Chains A and B, each alone.
Chain A
Amino acid sequence: MSVAVIDRRCREVVTPEGVVLGFRIASRSARAGALILDFALLFITALAGTLLLLFMASGLPAQLETSVSGAGEFLFVVWTLFWFFLWNGYFIVMELGPRGATFGKRAVGIRVAARAADSRGGERLTAEAVLARNLLRDIELFLPLVLLMVAPSGESGPAGWAALLWFLVFLLFPFFNRDALRAGDLVAGTWVVEAPRARLAEALSTQGAMRDHASTLTGAAYRFGEAELSVYGEYELQTLERVLRENRAEAMAAVHQAICRRIGWEPGAGDERAFLEAFYAQLRARLEGGMRFGKRKKDKHDGG
C-alpha cells in the first residue's frame, strides 16, 4: 500500500466495522523455521521429562523380574501420557492462546488466524479449527518422512513408492497454492499470517528544521519552491523518512547530494540533516495537501 511494488503476500480482510485490514501471509521459510524451533523445544522437553522420570525410577527399590511395582507402573503411565499430550497437545493449547501461536511461531513473528471467506469478512478462530489443523500433522509430516526413509531401501516394494508419492503431495502442499496453506490449514479454514509488533516512532515534524524550516546549526532557512517539490512522490518521501529516522551521517550526506543534484541546488556540507528535515516537511505538507483533494503522486515517475 505504502510501497509502490505490489506485494504478492498481501491479503485484505474487511472487518465487521468496515475497516480494511491488511494481512501478510507468512513466508514458507518463516513457518519452516517456526516448526523446527517448536520441535527442538518439544524434543528437549520430552527428553528432560523422560530423564526426570528415569531418575525417579532409579530411586525405586530393585524389583523381581516378574512383578511390577505400583510406583514403577505409575511412573510408566505418567510417562506414556506425558509423551502423548506433549506431542499432540502443545500445538493445540498454544494456538488457542491469546497470541494464536506456539513459541516457535512467536519467535519468528507469525500467528494462526481464521481464513477470510470470499464473501464474508474476517472470522473468529475457533477451537475446532485449531484442533483440525493440528490433527492432520501426522500425514503431512511424519508419514512422508518415514516413507522417505523406507521407500528407497526397496523393502516395501512398489507399494512403498506409491505411498511415498502420495504423501509427498501433502508434504509439498504449501508450495502449490497462493496462500501457502498446508493440508491442515485447508481443512480447518485457517491460514498463517505475519503478526507485526511495531513501536510508535517519534513524530517527525515537532523537531528542528521541520518546524520553522531553519537550521539550528547555521540559522539558514531552507525554503523550496513548487517546481523543486514537485519532482518527488510518496515513495521518495518515505525513503527520506527512513533515512531521517535511522539518522546515519553517510546516508544523509548521500541523499542530500542526490536531492540537490535533482533540484539543481549547489550541495553544501555540514548541515545535511537540517536541509533534509526542511525538505521532508515541505514535501510531505505538499503531498498530504494533494491527498486531501484526492491527488496522489506515487513516485517520481508518476505524472500526477
Chain B
Amino acid sequence: MKAPVLGSLFGRKDAAAPPEVAAAALRSDRFRLEREQDWSRLEAMLGRIEKGRLRGLSDADVMALPALYRTAASSLAVARETSLDAATLAYLEALVQRAWFQIYGPREGALAWLRRFLGGDLSRAVREVWLDSCIALFVMVMGTLAGWMLVARDQEWYFSLVPAQFADTRVPGASREALLETLRVEETTGGLTAFAAQLFQNNAGVAILAFALGFAFGLPTLMLLVHNMAVLGAMLWLYHEAGLLLPFLAWLGVHGTTELLAILLAGAAGLHIGRRMAFPGRRSVLAAAADAGRRGAQVMAGVVLMLVLAALLEAFPRQLAGTEARAIIGLFMLAMWLAYFYAFRGRHRSGAA
C-alpha cells in the first residue's frame, strides 16, 4: 500500500505546467484552463488502467477516479452549453467516454468470474433453460428411436445414417466377435492423450455449432440433434442384434452421459435463443434475444468444460476399464451433473454482499 503523498506527487508530475488562467481572453477558455489539470490526471490514470496496470495506481488515485470522472462529466455538460471550442469538446467527449467504459466496464478478473460461474451462475442458467432442455431431450430420444426403427425395418438405412468413419467393422451382419473387439480394453495409455485432445476439439466444435444454429429460430439445432441421435440409434440396434447391448451401453455411457448431456445443453441453449426470438413476449425482439443470448453463453461455457471432462473420460476410463467399471463411472457422472445443475442452488447473486 502506497502512501497518499505519492499519489499527489504523481498527479502533479503528470500535469503540464498550466498556462495562467487569467491570460485567457475568453470565459470558456478560462473555464477550461481551471479544470484542465483534473482532466489530464484522469487521462493519465485511464491510460494506465487501459494498459492493465492497475497496480501502478496508488490508493489515492483509485479513490479519486469516480470523483474525477464525475468532474469531467459535469465539465462536459457545462462545456456543451457554454463553449464553442470544438477541439476541447471533442477531447472531453472522448475522455468521459473512456472513463465511463472503465468505471462501468467488466471489473472482475477471470478468477472471480470463474468462482461466481461455478458457484451458482452456471447451474442457475441451466435451470433457466429447463423447458428447452426438455424439448432437446424429447428430440434426442425421438431421434434415437427413429434411427433404431429405421434400421430395424431396412438395414440399408444403416449405411446412409452412419458416417463411413464409424462403419468400419461395425456393419449389419458383422460377427459378434468383431463387434466385441471394438469394445475391448486397451492395455496401455499410449496415444490416448492425443485421442482425448482431438475428441475435445471435435466435440466442442459440434456443440458451438449447435448453439450458434439456434439463432435461426432453433430449427437447424433440432435437425442436428435428430441426425446425430439417429446414428446412435442405428448403432444401438446393431449391438442389440449381436446381443451386446449392455456392454455397448457401458462402453458409450462412461463418457456418453457427460457428452450427451453437454450436447443436450448446447442444443437447449441454442433453442432457448431461437424460442425467445420467435416468442419475445412483451419485450422487443432485440432485448429478448440479448437476454437469452447471455444466458445461453453461460450454459455454453459450462458445456465446453463438460466436454473437456468427457474427452478425458472417453480416452482413459473407456479404453482402460471393464464393462462394470464403465457403467458405474457413467452413471456416477450423470448423477453428479444432475445434482449439480438441478439441486445445487449456490449463493444468490446478491449473496456476496
Tell whether A199 pairs with B294 under 8 Å between CB atoms, given A238-B86, A281-B25.
Answer: no
Given contacts A187-B289, A200-B40, contact A291 B82 (CB under 8 A): yes
Give chain B nearest CB distance to A223 CB in angstroms: 13
**Which A150-170 residues have C-beta < 8 A from chain B?**
166, 170
* Bound complex: CA A234 to CA B84 (Å): 7
Report how many A-B pairs have Cβ atoms within 8 Å.
229
The number of chain B residues touching the other chain, given as a range, is 35 or more
The closest CB in chain B to the CB of A66 belongs to B190
Binds B, one of A68-76, A254-262, A265-273: A68-76
Contact A80 B197 (CB under 8 A): yes
Assembly CA distance A140 to B195 (angstroms): 29
Query: Does any Cβ of B come within 8 Å of A34's Cβ?
Result: no
B5 at the interface (CB under 8 A from A): no
Contact B23 A211 (CB under 8 A): yes
Q: Which of B26, B43, B108, B211 has the most CB of A within 10 A?
A: B26
Partner of B191, one of A73, A198, A238, A287: A73
Cβ of A19 < 8 Å from any Cβ of B? yes
Given A98-B49, A131-B297, A205-B25: A284 in contact with B88 (beta carbons within 8 A): no
On chain B, the residues within 8 Å of A80 by CB distance are: 194, 197-198, 200-201
Task: Give B159 Cβ to nearest chain A Cβ, in Å.
Answer: 19
* Segment among A25-33, A42-50, A189-197 that sits at the interface with chain B: A189-197
Tell me the complex Cα distance, A238–B90, Å: 12
Most B CB contacts (10 A, CB to CB) among A1, A139, A166, A292 go to: A139
Q: A77-B194, A189-B294, A288-B28 are in contact. Are A21 and B33 (CB under 8 A)?
A: no
Minimal Cβ-Cβ distance residue in B for A189? B290
Within 8 A of A (CB), among B196-211: 196-198, 200-201, 204-205, 208-209, 211
Give complex CA distance A166, B291 in Å: 24
Expressed in whole angstroms, the minimum distance between the Cβ of B213 and any Cβ of chain A is 6
The answer to the question of A227 belonging to the interface, with a C-beta cut-off of 8 Å to chain B, is: no
Contact A187 to B293, CB < 8 A, known contacts A117-B287, A136-B212, A200-B39:
yes
Give the shortest distance, in Å, between B22 (CB) and chain A (any CB): 10
Q: Which residues of B contact A132 (CB under 8 A)?
A: 293-294, 296-297, 300
How many A residues are at the interface, by size bracket?
Answer: 35 or more
Query: CB distance A204 to B85 under 8 Å?
Result: yes
Main secondary structure of the interface of A (DSSP, over half): helix
Candidate in B25, B50, B211 with the most chain A CB atoms within 10 angstroms: B25
Is A125's beta carbon under 8 Å from chain B?
yes
Return chain B residues, CB-CB under 8 Å to A237. Answer: 84
Q: Report how far A292 CA is from B84 CA in the complex, Å.
A: 12
From known contacts A19-B77, A183-B215, A189-B294, infer whether A118 and B25 are also in contact, taking CB-CB under 8 Å: no
Task: Pick 30 A–B contacts, CB within 8 A, sort by A.
Answer: A15-B100, A16-B104, A80-B194, A81-B200, A84-B201, A96-B106, A124-B106, A131-B301, A132-B293, A137-B212, A138-B209, A170-B215, A170-B216, A187-B289, A187-B290, A187-B296, A189-B287, A189-B289, A195-B97, A196-B93, A201-B88, A203-B29, A203-B88, A205-B25, A206-B19, A206-B29, A206-B33, A288-B27, A288-B83, A292-B82
Q: Enumerate chain B interface residues (CB-CB to A < 8 A).
A: 19-20, 23-29, 32-33, 36, 39-40, 43, 49-52, 70, 73-74, 76-77, 80-91, 93-98, 100-102, 104-106, 108, 110, 113, 190-191, 193-194, 196-198, 200-201, 204-205, 208-209, 211-213, 215-216, 273, 284, 286-287, 289-298, 300-301
Question: What are the 3 tightest A-B residue pairs by CB atom distance, in nearest-first order?
Answer: A189-B290, A187-B293, A132-B297
Binding site for B on A (CB under 8 A): 1-2, 15-17, 19-23, 67-68, 70, 73-74, 76-77, 80-81, 83-84, 88, 96-100, 111, 113, 115, 117-118, 122-133, 135-140, 166, 170, 183, 186-189, 195-201, 203-206, 210-212, 234, 237-238, 241-242, 245, 281, 284-285, 287-288, 291-292
